[in-house]
Structure 1
Amino acid sequence: MHAGASGQPPTATAGPTSFALRPFRGLALSAQRVGDPASARAFARPYRDVAARLERWEAQGHVVRDREAALYLHEYTVGALTVRGLVGALDVSRAGAAERVVLPHEGVHQDQAADLAARMGEMELNPAPILLVHRGPGAVRDLIGRIMTDSPWQEYVDRAERHNRVWAVRDGSLLTELAEHLASSRPLIADGHHRYAAYVALHEQRPGTAADLGLAMLVDQDDTPLHLGAIHRTISRTDLDDLARAVGPAGTLTATTEASALAALSPTTLAVTDGAAWARLDLGALTERAAVQVLHEDVLPRLQGPHVVGYHHSVDDALERVARGQQLAVLMPAPDFDLVDRIVSSHRLLPEKATSFQPKPSLGVLMRSLLDG
């Protein structure tokens, strides 16, 4: 069973139930270390040594610590896609669903969240921001334009070949304007549901400390949209006949060719294969429901016998697993952002791994030490 993560309101400065990001003192790996897989050793076990490890790296010039607190604007470019977002400290100290202003769209495994909370507590670090997304007000885009007229705090191409630019925002009047225009925002969690739940758990263990806050990046989907992709499924120990019986009133499973099944893939039609035969699963007209909800809520519970669902970010990966036999691949459509937003705004959750927001920022561009307060 999954327990749904609750969204909570950030800072009190913009109102008791309003969204806000607080300035913090940025911590960053050096340009030569960002995007380098070898940098992961800085965050490896034993986690209690991570803070001291980063101090040693700082003395060696591998870590940069900002001189004072700021709200940061991080822009990164991956190929032809540029993503830009505000990075700040999110208040997680009030965990009331009635007040929530950060909206989860997937459930979490509480044991995984507890493990992450323990890890962050030992590291004394938020090693990466969770990713929040919304359709932001034009006034904030105008303010971001003003920020970008200044020279970046940092600019470099990292080891993953991503072009990063980071601005540090410290001007009081600009921070006030940003807070006022963001106060009514209700962003959804694009990536980091378990880390958000870990933020809440760590706050509950250490109330009134730096753990009241967690690191977050807010992206405007109308400015630099994240790509919202599909996560495909494999279902073990079942076949097309079993699936046809399980579909029932939820839709119609029709045998067809591979080309026809793939061509039919749409928000209301899934493509299914056992590695040899292909079918299309038509779900009919869906009213304020995503195809992934119908699959997990209406179809999979009706499958007879034990089965395991696997998750795959590419069609090729899903089909490769099916080629090994005794399972089905269910190819999913990419969810619609506005539908996902409406679903979570009505306090409903999607199934686990329903969305894939890409690209995510490289590890180490911005971190937050819990020792800085």
Structure 2
Amino acid sequence: MNTAGHSEATARRGLELTPFRGLRYDPDRVGSLAAVTSPPYDVVVRPDGLHHLQSADPYNIVRLILPQAPTAGARNEQASDTLRRWQSEGVLATDPEPGLYVYEQRDGDGMLQRGIIGALRVSDPSEGVVLPHEDVMPHVVADRADLMRATSANLEPLLLTYRGDGSISSTAELVERVAGQPPLLATTTEDGYSHRLWSITDPADLARVQSDLAQHQALIADGHHRWATYRRLRTEHDSPSPWDYGLVLLVDTARYPLRVRAIHRLLHGVPVADALAALKGRFRIQHLPVSLPEALGALADSACAGNAFLLAGDGAFHLVDRPDPDLLARTIPVERPVAWRTLDATVLHSTLLDHVWDIPEDDPARIAYIHDTAATVEKAERDGGTAVLLHPVREEVVRDLARQGVTMPRKSTSFGPKPASGLVLRTLGR
């Protein structure tokens, strides 16, 4: 089986997933597997979450995916040196033979997710094999590319989804059978999620999975910047090479539906009073002296009727809805599909950020993107900024836009649960 890569000219259309020799923590060399894992790099709530993970274990994966140093160059050099040292010390060890990996997550509420981790051929957008649904920020792609170049590794998998027909396909049957066997590893992280990992190395099983997946396209659920990074790095290396492929987790959402949540915004240095003052006469504003769950319920009700946002940071919640139609007509591009023009994220970026608040969406000194709702509110209250909370978009809307080739505004959705970082890595050679 060829795992090195294929040229674009000979690659078949469809998902092309290949086995690889996973790099994994030796459980005898770390405090616990749970203590060395992390959420994906862009979900870690910094700086508090970063410091917590760094102190959890000296070998926590966050030291690779979010290295800390005064300059970008020093950070990437530190990550590279750390990865080499952990490999030489045996903290991280390479599996003896190439395989695909069945990955399972469970939580205490009965949620079960299973998927397959492998090295996916990095396709061009024109092929329609991997569908993005969000725009990316160039500086983030550049940052991730620098880190991957320095480490010559895919340090954490993207989350991709595909839609099976809901029946027991050859892949689904294999995943279920493998999940009934003893795992390579099992751990429960502090968020209450249990994680298990198995390897598939039998050539016949690998061929079944590859043949089945070759009939499908995938939607990027989480990891747009890393996919864009894979594409950039692929162009920098002659094909075939390991850079033709990138580490992904593929989940069949016909069998294991994902949860879709919003990604919220934190406006630095913008008091809630100032943010609201700029909206007067342009949106309806309702002050809600209620708890966060009640405020989110009011947001959900209002979002059913049109664009709505929840502002917080001053100890209360403020429902902002019913935008002025003339304002929307002046600020939102008319050439885009109606489904795109009416998205809350579109109105937030095109109308509020660009025209009302005048905040660049890609300036980390002015705006932050946070997945956790309560954390967004707490940081706004602590820092004197404004939390802008959004209601999540339905998965079918996301998929329909992606199939039309229409990308949503940056950081519009959060699909989950996301794979834990640190369970399996992929090295690309130096």
TM-score grouping bracket, smaller chain normalisation: 0.7 to 0.9
State the Cα deviation string for residues 242-292 of structure 1 (Å, max 9, x = none).
1244x4xxxx52435344864431243333357357334136999524322
Shift of 1:321: 4.5
- Corresponding position of 1:317: 375
- Corresponding position of 1:146: 177
Structure-to-structure mapping, 1:145-294, within 5 angstroms: 145-152=176-183, 154-157=184-187, 160=190, 162-208=193-239, 209-235=241-267, 236=270, 238-245=274-281, 247=282, 252-259=283-290, 262-266=296-300, 267=303, 268=306, 269-273=308-312, 275=314, 278-282=318-322, 288-289=339-340, 290-294=343-347
Structure-to-structure mapping, 1:38-77, within 5 angstroms: 38-40=58-60, 43=64, 44=67, 45-58=77-90, 62-77=91-106
Shift of 1:306: 5.2
**In the alignment, is residue 364 of structure 1 matched against residue 422 of structure 2?**
yes
Shift of 1:184: 3.1
In 1, Cα distance between equivalents of 2:286 and 2:319: 4
In 2, Cα distance between equivalents of 1:156 and 1:315: 29
Secondary structure of residue in 2 paired with 1:107: coil
Q: TM-score, normalised by structure 2?
A: 0.72
Q: 1:28 aligns with which of 24, 36, 51?
A: 24
In 2, Cα distance between equivalents of 1:63 and 1:325: 39
- Please, which moves more after superposition, 335-344 or 44-53? 44-53
| Alpha-carbon distance change, 324 to 76 in structure 1, aligned in 2, over 3 angstroms | closer
| Alpha-carbon distance change, 70 to 279 in structure 1, aligned in 2, over 3 angstroms | closer
Secondary structure of residue in 2 paired with 1:239: helix
- Corresponding position of 1:302: 355
Task: Tell me, yes or no, if the aligned pair for 2:295 and 2:317 is still in contact at 8 Å.
Answer: no
Q: 2:115 aligns with which of 58, 81, 85?
A: 85
Task: Tell me, yes or no, if the aligned pair for 2:247 and 2:426 is still in contact at 8 Å.
Answer: yes
- Corresponding position of 2:145: 117
Task: Tell me, yes or no, if the aligned pair for 1:22 and 1:71 is still in contact at 8 Å.
Answer: yes
In 1, Cα distance between equivalents of 2:21 and 2:119: 10
Q: How many residues align?
A: 353
RMSD (Å), alpha carbons = 3.3
Task: Tell me, yes or no, if the aligned pair for 1:11 and 1:20 is still in contact at 8 Å.
Answer: no
Task: Tell me, yes or no, if the aligned pair for 1:24 and 1:88 is still in contact at 8 Å.
Answer: yes
**In the alignment, is residue 98 of structure 1 matched against residue 137 of structure 2?**
no
State the Cα deviation string for residues 95-117 of structure 1 (Å, max 9, x = none).
3x211311222222223222322
| Alpha-carbon distance change, 166 to 349 in structure 1, aligned in 2, over 3 angstroms | same
State the Cα deviation string for residues 186-210 of structure 1 (Å, max 9, x = none).
2222222222222222222222321
In 1, Cα distance between equivalents of 2:372 and 2:195: 26
| Alpha-carbon distance change, 348 to 305 in structure 1, aligned in 2, over 3 angstroms | closer
State the Cα deviation string for residues 210-262 of structure 1 (Å, max 9, x = none).
112111111122323332222223443643231244x4xxxx52435344864
In 1, Cα distance between equivalents of 2:296 and 2:193: 32
Secondary structure of residue in 1 paired with 2:412: coil
Secondary structure of residue in 1 paired with 2:119: strand
Select the structure that is richer in strand. 1
Secondary structure of residue in 2 paired with 1:46: helix
State the Cα deviation string for residues 10-52 of structure 1 (Å, max 9, x = none).
9989963211211111111134453324323763542332453
In 2, Cα distance between equivalents of 1:147 and 1:306: 50
| Alpha-carbon distance change, 243 to 28 in structure 1, aligned in 2, over 3 angstroms | same
| Alpha-carbon distance change, 14 to 277 in structure 1, aligned in 2, over 3 angstroms | same
In 2, Cα distance between equivalents of 1:316 and 1:201: 35
Q: TM-score, normalised by structure 1?
A: 0.81
In 1, Cα distance between equivalents of 2:295 and 2:88: 56
